[in-house]
Chains A and B, each alone.
Chain A
């Protein structure tokens, strides 16, 4: 039996982390949490998650800086990064894609949106 994929949920809101963790665990993922970008980078020095659900606006280190830092770490295998943010304009989306984001979720979102995005990345089997 293979071990479940690990998702690192990075958000400064404990409530939002909780909601995301509940959804991800119901889909069979293992989860870890970080309350800002700096904590996420620190986590990834010792653990390589399969994918990261990454908020944009956070204290200490914001999501886009964290994303660039994660890509600069050359993690193996490189985790998929899904930005998950209230930032919903085209310039921000393009900035995230240029920095190496694989997908982008605009908040608020629900389980179906999350599932669709994870399917697109091949992280859950398509129905």
Chain B
């Protein structure tokens, strides 16, 4: 791939999605765009880029952005954040929310495993929420993955990644050789195409925002911009949950880490010095 070809794709990705791709990650272009090259019957990635240079290639541009921004996921990915949700974050919110309403945002939901993992956690561990108004909003930049997410249908291989077999039995129906999440879990989830660099105000305000393994793909100013936009979408005592390799440090002073809870952040002005009192939980439960 020539330097000019790489720059063309890198610029397209940066402008449309904020995604930063550096020359050392050039191999990702080959692996992620290979299927598009084959689908269009082209001979090579270079031929695809030639098509991209022609006027009227907007559909191809969208396809490239989707292919490059879709990332591997699994049910209960990294497991730790879901333990934190179950043991600390949700019990704390249940105690604080007299309105008996909870809004949760899965901010880059890909093919839906994260929002469905949240829905399964609520269903299995918090029967008290049966009488609450629960809304899970799941967004992604890619319309293609959202369509898959909305279908709630997964291959045998996909349901074996991170999902305990007892949960598969409880929450899925076996349809031919596919697995479909039960309607009662899909009901509480709204899927919407959202570019994190766009206007987020229409989403409303959330008690919990999960934005995991997303920031790592953006440059510093873009990370800061997204963090500030998300800060405006979180209730004063709500929380932001980031991926294991991500942090707000040096990016956004609106957030502070919640002491004792790895990867969990709250509005800086709202976090009291004692985490247990903030969470309304005994310290022993916050592990």
Q: List residues of A whose CB falls within 8 A of some B CB.
A: 88-90, 93-94, 97, 101, 103-106, 109, 112-113, 116-117, 119-120, 126-127
Contacts of B161 on A, CB cut-off 8 Å? 112-113, 116
C-alpha gap A112/B73 in the complex (Å) = 12
- For the complex, count residues of B whose C-beta is within 8 A of A: 17
Q: Render B69-94 as a binary contact track against A, CB cut-off 8 A, 1 for contact.
A: 00000100011100000000000000
CB<8 Å pairs between A and B, sample of 27: A88-B177, A89-B174, A90-B174, A93-B168, A93-B169, A94-B169, A97-B165, A97-B169, A101-B165, A103-B164, A103-B165, A105-B160, A106-B156, A106-B160, A109-B157, A112-B161, A113-B157, A113-B160, A116-B74, A116-B160, A116-B161, A116-B162, A117-B160, A119-B79, A120-B164, A126-B79, A127-B78
**B166 contacts chain A at the CB level, 8 A cutoff:** yes
Min Cβ gap A99→B in Å is 13
Partner of B156, one of A88, A97, A116, A117: A88
Nearest opposing residue in chain A for B157, CB measure: A113
Nearest opposing residue in chain B for A107, CB measure: B156
Q: Which of A88, A89, A101 has the most CB of B within 10 A?
A: A88
Within 8 A of A (CB), among B131-158: 156-157
Min Cβ gap A65→B in Å is 20
Interchain pairs with CB closer than 8 A, number: 37
Sorted from nearest, which 5 A-B pairs have the closest CB atoms? A104-B165, A90-B174, A113-B160, A106-B156, A120-B164
C-alpha gap A101/B164 in the complex (Å) = 12
C-alpha gap A105/B177 in the complex (Å) = 14
Interchain CB contact under 8 A, A93 and B78: no
Contacts of B78 on A, CB cut-off 8 Å? 127
Contacts of A126 on B, CB cut-off 8 Å? 79-80
C-alpha gap A97/B170 in the complex (Å) = 12
Nearest opposing residue in chain A for B174, CB measure: A90
C-alpha gap A113/B173 in the complex (Å) = 20
Contacts of A116 on B, CB cut-off 8 Å? 74, 160-162
Nearest opposing residue in chain A for B167, CB measure: A120
C-alpha gap A105/B161 in the complex (Å) = 10
Contacts of A109 on B, CB cut-off 8 Å? 157, 160
Contacts of A120 on B, CB cut-off 8 Å? 162, 164
Nearest opposing residue in chain A for B72, CB measure: A112
Interchain CB contact under 8 A, B166 and A97: yes
Interchain CB contact under 8 A, B160 and A90: no
18 new A-B contacts at CB < 8 Å, known A97-B165, A127-B78: A88-B156, A90-B169, A93-B165, A93-B168, A93-B169, A97-B169, A104-B165, A106-B156, A106-B160, A113-B157, A113-B160, A113-B161, A116-B160, A116-B161, A116-B162, A117-B160, A120-B162, A126-B80
Min Cβ gap B50→A in Å is 36
Contacts of A127 on B, CB cut-off 8 Å? 78
C-alpha gap A106/B179 in the complex (Å) = 13
Nearest opposing residue in chain B for A120, CB measure: B164
Min Cβ gap B121→A in Å is 15
Min Cβ gap B150→A in Å is 23
Contacts of B174 on A, CB cut-off 8 Å? 89-90
Contacts of A90 on B, CB cut-off 8 Å? 169, 173-174
Contacts of B79 on A, CB cut-off 8 Å? 119, 126
Min Cβ gap B232→A in Å is 33
Min Cβ gap A27→B in Å is 17
Contacts of B168 on A, CB cut-off 8 Å? 93
Min Cβ gap A108→B in Å is 8
